[in-house]
Structure 1
Amino acid sequence: MNPSRPKIYFIRHGETDWNLEGRLQGQKDIPLNDLGRVQAEEAGRRLQSVAPHYEDLAYMASPMLRTRETMEILRGAIGLHPEGYKLDERLVEITFGAWEGMTWKEVRKAEPQLAALRERDKWNYIPPGGESYAMLVDRIHPVIEDITRDTVIVAHGGVARAFLALCCGVNSRQAASMDIWQGRVLVIEGRNHRWV
């Protein structure tokens, strides 16, 4: 990746009821809950504190409901028009296929052998009807190449892991298990990243 690449302010969508219940959302379109809306406002304030020229940044989001809600709330919280951003289909969350809607506990009970295979190699494992992180990286790579100016991206935990692997060289084993916080901003600058 190009070390002089524009700065990326990555924001994971706020909490949903499925997040709270530990359910695999993937590409199911679940709305924010009350805490998620508060987290979206908080992410806006954090963005404002770390990016003094926030009004001049490009803004881009996954087209899923939870990411659009997060983007519109955070933009409103910092005085920008809620709908002044672009959608990019490539930013949708990794799909867990047949496992979407289940908790990991339910997956381990229903399909213990498959769950064990995934635990051995989270990055490359493809759930039934789903997608691996390695496949997600292939989908996300062109998005990163298309970024030409400092950009705010509102997307998903899996997508954040792909960005960390591609932009910052985080190894796949570590990236697959990293916590991706809601209500905070992941600043990616060159090969470095930090949470604000």
Structure 2
Amino acid sequence: MLLYVIRHGQTDYNREQRLQGARDIPLNDTGRGQARQNGRTLASAGLELPLDQFDWVSSPLARTRETMELVRESAGLDPRNYRTDALLIELSFGDWEGQTLEEVRRHSKDLIAAREQDKWRFRPPGEKAESYAMLAERTDRFLSKVRRPTVCVAHGGVIRTLFNRIGRVADDEAALLDIPQDRVLKIAYGEIGWI
């Protein structure tokens, strides 16, 4: 498997440290700059294949699609020539989406404590809420469909599950990883690391 993965650029929710999850929040100007830089990084990295020979796939949320289009444009490719896959959507924080962890702590201190005990398996309240373990199962389904070298734009949670599944980072350690928005992750032949 040869996979290059980019986290979407910064949004105002990221800047404000709000739980974004599956909410469809657009990039801010910093995020647009990060996406363009990641496109230039890919274009100058001397990859194994020409960029137009990769499969390009994005989460369908607006912030990932805009990131994908800016990455492709900055790499000299048609910005619209990619596909989306719903398996790459960020994990849902359920009823907590839109709040900061400090705001959640004020009304759900016991749930925050439970989350800190087992972040990988903790599922926030709400019908659509997910744990990292649930997201990892979706990531597994996405990976099972990767048939050729791929460039992917996804979310921090998805990338954490890639470190867990491919990099064999332990569950709770993977859930705590800081995932930058201005770097490109390379997954090749069972190895995982930033370029």
How many corresponding residue pairs? 191
Is 1:103 matched up with 2:100? yes
| Residues 26 and 96 in structure 1, CA contact (< 8 A), matched pair in contact too | yes
Partners of 1:170 and 1:188 lie apart in 2 by 14
Instruction: Kindly report which structure 2 residues correspond to 1:138-149, keeping only aligned pairs within 5 A, or say none.
Output: 138-149=137-148
| Aligned twin of 2:149 | 150
The separation in 1 between residues aligned to 2:26 and 2:63, in whole angstroms, is 5
TM-score by length of 1: 0.95
CA deviations over 1:57-87 (Å, ceiling 9, x no partner): 1100000000000000010011100011110
Q: 1:28 aligns with which of 7, 23, 42?
A: 23
Q: Which residue identity does 2:19 align to in structure 1?
A: L
Give the match for residue 3 of structure 1. none
Partner of 2:182: 183
Return the alpha-carbon distance in structure 1 between the equivalents of residues 53 and 7 of structure 2: 21
Q: Alpha carbon RMSD of aligned pairs, Å?
A: 0.9
Contact 1:44/1:78 (8 A) holds in 2: yes
For structure 2, list consecutive stretches of 5 or more residues without a partner in the other structure: none
Choose the corresponding residue for 1:41, options 24, 36, 39.
36
CA contact (8 A) 1:24 1:104 kept: yes
Stretch of structure 1 that moved more, 50-59 or 165-174? 50-59
Q: How high is the sequence identity, in percent, across the aligned residues?
A: 48
CA distance in 1, matches of 2:96, 2:189: 35
Is 1:167–1:190's contact at 8 Å kept on the other side of the alignment? no
What secondary structure, in the 3-state scheme, does the structure 2 residue paired with 1:168 have? Answer: coil
Moved more, 136-145 or 41-50: 41-50
